[in-house]
Amino acid sequence: MDLPGVPSELLQRIAAAAGTAPIALVGGAVRDLLLHRVHQDPWRGLPDLDLVVQGAPGAEGSAEAPAAVQLARTLEDQADGCLLAWREHGAYGTVELELVFGAGGRFCLDVATARQERYPVAAANPVVRFGSLLDDLARRDFSINAMALPLAPGGSAATQPDLLDPHGGQADLSERRLRLLHGGSLRDDPTRLVRGARYGARLGFRLDAASLEQARRTLADWPWPWRHGDAPERAPAALATRLRMELELLLEREPWPRALELLQGWGGLMLLDPALQADRHWRRRLHWAERFGVPKLVALIVAADDPHALARRLQLPHHQQTLLAGLDELRRRLQQAGLAE
């Protein structure tokens, strides 16, 4: 398999480490390959391989490690000092690795054990059960991220694999379309809407009609157990820390003016605050923040009805909450003087 920016020998070594366990390139790595782009880690700017390996502990409660962890341990044993770091997320059977391969090339690997997810509580963290590669593709956000390219088993000579595309992602790529995988996608995880705005801004894609209707209906119904005005500390993860992480990526690593324009157009700033959904001055405020080195997320949420409660819900770092307090006071005084909206 030819993957731009990635030595074929690296893919063979990964497949060999998986042994007989089925392993595939998935998600953004496949999407960007089909778009003739190099998929990169958004924070580190390194080539990033998203992989799923099929296999799970043999019995309920077994002490055997998930397949992704076993793969990482094998790579560590065979890395000859080239594996720089790896971090395990045990609850989800995933591993993040960073390694040097070949002539000093650095790569990120995000390896997941194939799994199913269900959301007993909307917007909370999912309950995970290991499953098949098809199960893993079905849990994803958009069809363009639900494709896979199986690697040759056991590290045998590279061949051109058949694309696994059970949800029509390739057709959506050709139509430059963002399509949610199922009718409850945003109920389960509302941060998928923020992710959609990121993809839309970066790739020039649009949200398809059914997905846009799902967004509007879901936001109007507000099916989540937490509502605006409730105690910030009680918000589920997708309306709190996970929402903050997606917004940080949007504001720091994407064409943020277009991404925020899309998100607001879809009604998605309601996830933060009704006043921000109605805000028409965020663009100018964020440009000033960029000029003066103020975190853009702080500058965005200062116009919320209660920016301090929102900062606590998103769990902004203490220094950002201190900065927010100063900006909020300045904004209040300017408003009193008639110098600000």
Q: Which domains does the chain have, with CATH numbers?
A: 8-174 (3.30.460.10), 177-336 (1.10.3090.10)
Residues 269-327 pLDDT 10s: 999 999 999 999 999 999 999 999 999 999 999 999 999 999 999 999 999 999 999 88
Which residue is listed with tokens 């560590």? 76
| Nearby residues of 289 by Cβ (< 8 Å), 6 or more positions away | 295, 296, 298, 299
Each residue of 129-183: pLDDT tens digit?
Answer: 999 999 999 999 999 999 999 998 765 544 667 999 999 999 999 999 999 999 9
Which of 1-15, 74-88, 145-159, 319-333 is the most confident on average?
Answer: 319-333
> What percent of the chain has a predicted confidence (pLDDT) above 90?
69
pLDDT (mean) for 88-106: 82
Average pLDDT, the chain: 90
Residue 293: the pLDDT is 92
**Contacts (Cβ under 8 Å, ≥6 apart) of 274:** 228, 305
How far apart CA 188 and CA 192 sit, in angstroms, is 9
pLDDT of residue 157: 47
DSSP string, 314-334: HT--HHHHHHHHHHHHHHHHH
Confidence label for 56 from pLDDT (cuts 50, 70 and 90): low
Q: Residue 38: CB partners within 8 Å, gap ≥ 6? A: 4, 5, 32, 47
Q: Is 204 left (phi over 0), alpha (psi -120 to 50) or beta?
A: left
137 vs 101, more confident = 137
pLDDT for 65? 83
Interval 239-251 mean pLDDT: 97
